[in-house]
Amino acid sequence: MPDPGNPVEQPDAAQFPLLPQLTLDCIILGFHEDQLRVLLLRWKDTQEWSLPGGPVRQNESVDAAAHRILKERTGLDQLFLQQFHVFGDVVRYNREEIKKKLKHVIDPEKWYERAVSIGYYALVDYSKVSPTPDAFTEECQWWDIKNIPQLLFDHNHIITVALQALRIQLSWQPIGYNLLPEEFTMPELQRLYETILGRTLDPRNFHRKIQGLGIVERLETRRKGGAHKAPYLYRFNKAQYEAMLTEGNLSFS
Amino acid sequence: MPDPGNPVEQPDAAQFPLLPQLTLDCIILGFHEDQLRVLLLRWKDTQEWSLPGGPVRQNESVDAAAHRILKERTGLDQLFLQQFHVFGDVVRYNREEIKKKLKHVIDPEKWYERAVSIGYYALVDYSKVSPTPDAFTEECQWWDIKNIPQLLFDHNHIITVALQALRIQLSWQPIGYNLLPEEFTMPELQRLYETILGRTLDPRNFHRKIQGLGIVERLETRRKGGAHKAPYLYRFNKAQYEAMLTEGNLSFS
């Protein structure tokens, strides 16, 4: 019989009672060397990987729990964090297989029969993250999104759904703040979009679209070093960017 | 001490054990006489209204619970149903006030200290709905979205967030199927969009935009009865409509 107060033997469960049968899973995405990367954890004494996540405490909001988990894994505050889906099937994965694989870390009697998971994705500045494992894992590492291993639980599925949500979000919200350095070139922004969408875009159309949204402003300076035709640097217009985050790109005028 | 197995004295709780501290709230929207309307329930022996909703059973998925609740309240299967937000604050409303107001229906000892709610909205064909109250309520009725009373719990807030999500969805997904009759005129579709967006749209731009999406096809017939210049009838192109529901309106080419 699983202990409903203590799903995964959280070290601080006595101090922080938990919401039963509810967990979060976090897709933490960074952009580096033209790759979209996701932060994964390797469980102790195994070659098994999973997404970061964990339960919600009785005394914190669901969003606060997501921020806490992200802070613990990355060291970062104030991430761009988005709920994208609730994974609520009765049977989400083969529980017996998981209990067996992780029995040296978690007592098989201590798992819930079922947990509902709320999925969040976070877009972070790759260079500022200090990847940090949790109590059950010994390694926290970036993986190229195109090269994810077979993960524990239903976490490959969760990543697939997160990327669908992110692609749809691209069509009505700006993206890039947090993922790019403060100053960037138009080709760099385009590569970020192409990486998320998984296809190439026409540079002229892309430039026109982004300029039309009013979310970037061109600086007087160009990317240093090298070619005569070095590309201009841009930065986000934070006010317009924030407005679009709230309003969306309502294209009916 | 609240009984964690029986948050609101569900009549069939013994038969169907529940996921503790988790509920659904459903915004069921219909379109009638140029009004967007929402289905509300009046609690027994009160003038207090709330959204339909309820707990999730241990043996059903979260989505199945939403479908079950919607079927019970409307009589309809196969509704367009969309998760839009998890309401997860520690304190969502004044619990003592609620316990007092509803104590003749629910034993004040039987409430959870806290519940997380998953919000769904459904778009339905107004004419096909048979509004039906649940075990705690005695009336189920359509309300004009512009004229909602002060509701119990945090349900006014939940409706506000649902409408924001629906408006954003309009900018990347088609809407109208389920909300309009099978055949409709372009002005009727435009009034639906205007009602949801809360502002008027230019007819020529609207027509061009909708045609550009390829989601409607013009029929040979015109709206019967009356004027010489009766408007053409349209219907949705279901294949294109479904494709856009999945893909979104990715406006980068």
* Nearest-by-Cβ selection for B118 from A4, A65, A86: A86
pLDDT tens by residue, B219-241: 998 887 666 678 899 999 988 88
Q: What pLDDT, on the 0 to 100 scale, is given for residue A12?
A: 72
> Does the structural domain A184-247 have CATH classification 1.10.3720.10?
no
Mutation target vs B (from A118, A172, A173, A192; most B CBs, 10 A cutoff): A172
In this model, does residue B3 exceed pLDDT 70?
A: no
Instruction: Give the pLDDT band (50/70/90) at residue A74.
Output: very high
Higher-confidence position of A176 and A4:
A176
- Mean pLDDT, residues B143-150 taken together: 96
* Nearest-by-Cβ selection for A116 from B4, B62, B168: B62
Q: What pLDDT, on the 0 to 100 scale, is given for residue B8?
A: 52
Per the CB < 8 A criterion, the answer to whether B112 and B4 are in contact is yes
Average pLDDT, chain B: 88
Shortest Cα–Cα distance, A170 to chain B (Å): 8
Q: What pLDDT, on the 0 to 100 scale, is given for residue A1?
A: 29
Cβ–Cβ gap B197/A86 under 8 Å: no
Q: What pLDDT, on the 0 to 100 scale, is given for residue A11?
A: 64
Q: Which two tokens stand for residue B203?
A: 């007819």
Domain assignments of chain B as residue spans, ordered by start: 18-170, 184-247
Q: Which two tokens stand for residue B217?
A: 């096809």
CATH architecture of the domain covering A18-170: Alpha-Beta Complex (3.90)
Average pLDDT, chain A: 88
Per the CB < 8 A criterion, the answer to whether B92 and B154 are in contact is yes
Backbone angles phi, psi at B198, to 5 degrees: 75, 25
Per the CB < 8 A criterion, the answer to whether B134 and B188 are in contact is no
pLDDT tens by residue, A137-148: 999 999 999 999
Using the Cβ of A200 and the Cβ atoms of chain B, whether some distance falls under 8 Å is answered with no
Cβ–Cβ gap A90/B61 under 8 Å: yes
Q: What pLDDT, on the 0 to 100 scale, is given for residue A42?
A: 98
Cβ–Cβ gap B253/A201 under 8 Å: yes
pLDDT tens by residue, A106-118: 999 999 989 999 9
Instruction: Give the pLDDT band (50/70/90) at residue A66.
Output: very high
Q: What pLDDT, on the 0 to 100 scale, is given for residue A216?
A: 92
B144 DSSP β-pair partners: B37
Q: What pLDDT, on the 0 to 100 scale, is given for residue B11?
A: 64
Cβ–Cβ gap B253/A202 under 8 Å: yes
Mutation target vs B (from A23, A25, A61; most B CBs, 10 A cutoff): A61
CA atoms within 13 A on the CB side of B27: 28
- Percent of chain A residues topping a pLDDT of 90: 58
Instruction: Give the pLDDT band (50/70/90) at residue B179.
Output: confident
Q: What pLDDT, on the 0 to 100 scale, is given for residue A176?
A: 82
Hey, which of A207-211, B62-66, B215-219 has the most confident mean pLDDT? B62-66
Using the Cβ of B94 and the Cβ atoms of chain A, whether some distance falls under 8 Å is answered with no
A30 DSSP β-pair partners: A37
Q: What pLDDT, on the 0 to 100 scale, is given for residue A3?
A: 39
Q: What pLDDT, on the 0 to 100 scale, is given for residue B249?
A: 52
ipTM of the complex: 0.86
Using the Cβ of B243 and the Cβ atoms of chain A, whether some distance falls under 8 Å is answered with no
Distance of CA B227 to the CA centre of its chain: 35
pLDDT tens by residue, B40-77: 999 999 999 999 999 999 999 999 999 999 999 999 98
Which residues, including other chains, have CB under 8 Å from residue A231's CB and lie 6 or more apart?
Answer: A185, A186, A187, A222, A223
Contacts of A61 in chain B (CB under 8 A): 88-90
